[in-house]
Amino acid sequence: MSIMYAVLLALVTGTHAATWGAFKDSPFEGFKAASFARTIVVAVVAAAMLATATDLETTLAPIVLVGVLYATERLATELWKSFLREDDQDAYAIPMRIAILGRPVDGRLPRYLTGLVVLVGVVAMGCAAAALQPADGGPLWLLVLVGGIGGWLTAVGGAWKDAPVEGFSGWKFLRSPVVATAWTMMVVPFTHDWVILTVAAAGLSVLSIETYKTFFTGGRPPGKFDGKPVRPALGVQRDRCRLLHSGVYVCLACVTGMAALFDAGDRLSPTVISLVVLTVVGATMSILVTVSPWAPDPVVRRRVVTDAIPS
């Protein structure tokens, strides 16, 4: 039953990631059913492995587990895209493969070794944090500081990839740390474990930032496809992605709302306050994504190159 619980949450988180990815990218590369399914499968496999190897699914609050599962799926997917996947980098304005000063590394051995170093480095940081943290996690200011580390790592990785092509943006660089720190303040009532707190806050920050970038920026094309030709609109597929994405927020709002009701005996506890806020945020995001006027098809915002990509 515990594995099934983790898998169900992974289906929700995987669907969230798959829908914003398909909504953003389909005008440029078409709707890729394999990529859509891959994101969900990776999330489910990661959840099953996590539930088999640990008892986190029974000890973590649902919102914390959602963050951990989201971060796990995103990390696995980005490692694969950056170091293992073989695809034509000319299709992107910004290389998706690991790059040096904007030039993708094509050699397999250097990529594989770099990916291994990155993975070992992430694991080593987690082990060091687990060994250094106090038994009670430390004071609140330290927990908030530690929880934002995942956002800083995300910002550094994004700047490494994007800045050589787009230029350095202070706003973009600070966005992930700020959002991750905000999420830390929301989930710190549920856990004081440094590793879990950092991973969950990083996952939840990606979850919210990608919704903003996809549905609330006026149809601005993803940086990796900036200047690339636009396909004819895929209205049906994109509408379904939008509705599924909205439905994920409904599910999250229901989960946190039910948890708030179960814990409502202590009405003023930080846990209940966080759950109520999360419920309101989830419901609001669902409504905004459903009726969002800020995510028109990029076709209406950019010149359509009709002879570059056949319909």
pLDDT digit string, tens, across residues 233-262: 667 888 889 999 999 999 999 888 887 777
Model-level pTM? 0.89
Report pLDDT for 204. 95
pLDDT reading at 50 higher than 70: yes
DSSP string, the chain: -HHHHHHHHHHHHHHHHHHHHHHHHHHHH---HHHHHHHHHHHHHHHHHHHHH-SHHHHS-HHHHHHHHHHHHHHHHHHIIIII----GGG-SS-SS-EETTEE---HHHHHHHHHHHHHHHHHHHHHHHHHS-TT---HHHHHHHHTHHHHHHHHHHHHHHHHHH---HHHHHHHHHHHHHHHHHHTTT---HHHHHHHHHHHHHHHHHHHHHHSSTTPPPGGGTTS--PPP-HHHHHHHHHHHHHHHHHHHHHHHHHHHHTTTSTTSHHHHHHHHHHHHHHHHHHHHHH-SS---GGGTS---TTTS--
How many other CB atoms sit within 10 Å of the CB of residue 142?
14
Cα gap 59→265, rounded to integer Å: 20
How many whole angstroms from its chain centre is CA 283? 19
Nearest residue to 233 via CA among 277, 296, 175, 188: 296
Contacts with 269 (C-beta within 8 Å, 6 or more apart), sequence order: 189, 263
How far apart (Å, rounded) are the C-alpha atoms in residues 182 and 204?
A: 10
Is the pLDDT confidence value at 300 over 80?
A: no
Structure tokens at 233: 């609109």
The per-residue pLDDT for range 254-293, each reduced to its tens digit, is 888 887 777 655 555 778 888 888 888 999 999 999 887 7
* pLDDT at 62 exceeding the cut of 90: no
290 neighbors 242 (Cβ within 8 angstroms): yes
- Judge contact between 69 and 207, C-beta under 8 A: no
Residue 104's DSSP bridge partners are 99
What are the pLDDT digits (tens) for 92-131?
888 888 888 888 888 899 999 999 999 999 999 999 999 9
The pLDDT value given to residue 298 = 62
pLDDT, mean of residues 194-215: 94
Whether 307 shows a pLDDT value over 80: the answer reads no
